[in-house]
């Protein structure tokens, strides 16, 4: 299944499966929200998870994994999957496509078993290249007319931590960046410069093209 398209920055799936997932869960029931081609779902299945893949568009799904067509903008989509049914919920580069991120996160909480874990990733609109772009143009990196046309909701970590997660009944366990020490979607000559400056800033959100949020239920 290595031919399945990974609809994200190259290497992000590998990073999640080798550096993040093993520290929080090793198996059980999993649901991949916004599964795309099924590239991540099939790899989770290969690790022993009992996986359901969810996406609004079945046309691009090619994996041999149970699939449910579902609109993640639906206010109560969790009821179609089963509340408190999953040890693991994954959502890779999905939340920025949705109209109501808090509503989406509420559904993520409803899906989790009491000791379950959710891994949510999204473009990092707070990194150093994004701040420079906004300063010069007033536009958000990866969210402007040159980015994905279905990106409609930038996620800022401060608002997520202070407002979104408490309202959704979730708590942050870990936040990290991918790539951990640099950038992949910036031209290499600029990426090296931005990486060096960002490390001097001592603010972890200045690095990386993607946020990775590890979440649990706040009971």
Domain-located, residue 79: yes
Q: In sequence order, what are the residues at sequence separation of 6 or more whose Cβ sits closer than 8 angstroms to the Cβ of residue 196?
A: none
The answer to whether the beta carbons of residues 86 and 112 sit under 8 Å apart is yes
Average pLDDT for residues 8-14, to the nearest whole number? 90
Mean residue pLDDT across the chain: 93
pLDDT value at 128 more than 90: yes
Domain-located, residue 191: yes
User: Residue 70's domain is classified under what CATH number?
Assistant: 3.40.50.150
What are the tens digits of pLDDT across the range 53-71? 999 999 999 999 999 999 9
Give one DSSP letter per residue of 115-154, joined into a string: EEEEEEEEE-TTSHHHHHHHHHHS--TTTSTTS-TT----
Closest by CA position to 169, among listed 111, 119, 217: 217
Out of 73-82, 146-155, 193-202, least confident range = 193-202
Domain-located, residue 2: no
Out of 11-15, 86-90, 178-182, 213-217, least confident range = 178-182
Average pLDDT for residues 180-205, to the nearest whole number? 84
What is the per-residue pLDDT for 3? 67
Percentage of the residues of the chain whose pLDDT score is greater than 70: 99
Range of the domain at 18: 12-217
pLDDT value at 219 more than 90: no
Domain-located, residue 1: no
Average pLDDT for residues 146-164, to the nearest whole number? 94
Give the H or E element holding residue 13: helix 12-15
Task: Give me 99's structure tokens.
Answer: 């109209």
Domain-located, residue 33: yes
Banded pLDDT at 1 (limits 50, 70, 90): very low
What is the per-residue pLDDT for 177? 95
Number of structural domains the chain divides into: 1
Domain-located, residue 4: no
Domain-located, residue 145: yes
The answer to whether the beta carbons of residues 141 and 183 sit under 8 Å apart is no
Query: Other C-beta atoms within 10 Å of 36: how many?
Result: 23
Domain-located, residue 198: yes
């Amino acid at each position: 299944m290595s031919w399945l398209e990974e609809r994200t920055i190259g290497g992000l799936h590998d990073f999640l499966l080798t550096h993040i997932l093993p520290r929080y869960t090793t198996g059980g029931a999993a649901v991949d929200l916004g599964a795309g081609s099924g590239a991540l779902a099939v790899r989770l299945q290969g690790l022993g998870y009992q996986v359901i893949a969810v996406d609004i568009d079945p046309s691009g799904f090619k994996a041999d994994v149970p699939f449910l067509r579902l609109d993640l903008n639906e206010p109560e989509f969790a009821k179609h999957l089963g509340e408190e049914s999953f040890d693991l919920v994954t959502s890779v580069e999905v939340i920025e496509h949705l109209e109501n991120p808090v509503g989406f996160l509420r559904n993520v909480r409803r899906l989790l078993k009491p000791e379950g874990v959710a891994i949510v990733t999204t473009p990092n609109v707070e990194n150093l290249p994004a701040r420079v772009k906004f300063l010069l143009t007033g536009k958000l990196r990866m969210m402007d007319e040159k980015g994905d046309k279905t990106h409609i909701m930038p996620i800022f970590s401060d608002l997520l931590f202070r407002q979104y997660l408490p309202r959704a009944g979730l708590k942050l366990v870990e936040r990290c960046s991918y790539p951990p020490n640099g950038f992949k979607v910036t031209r290499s000559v600029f990426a090296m410069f931005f990486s060096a400056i960002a490390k001097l800033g001592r603010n972890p959100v200045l690095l990386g093209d993607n946020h990775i949020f590890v979440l649990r239920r706040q009971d």
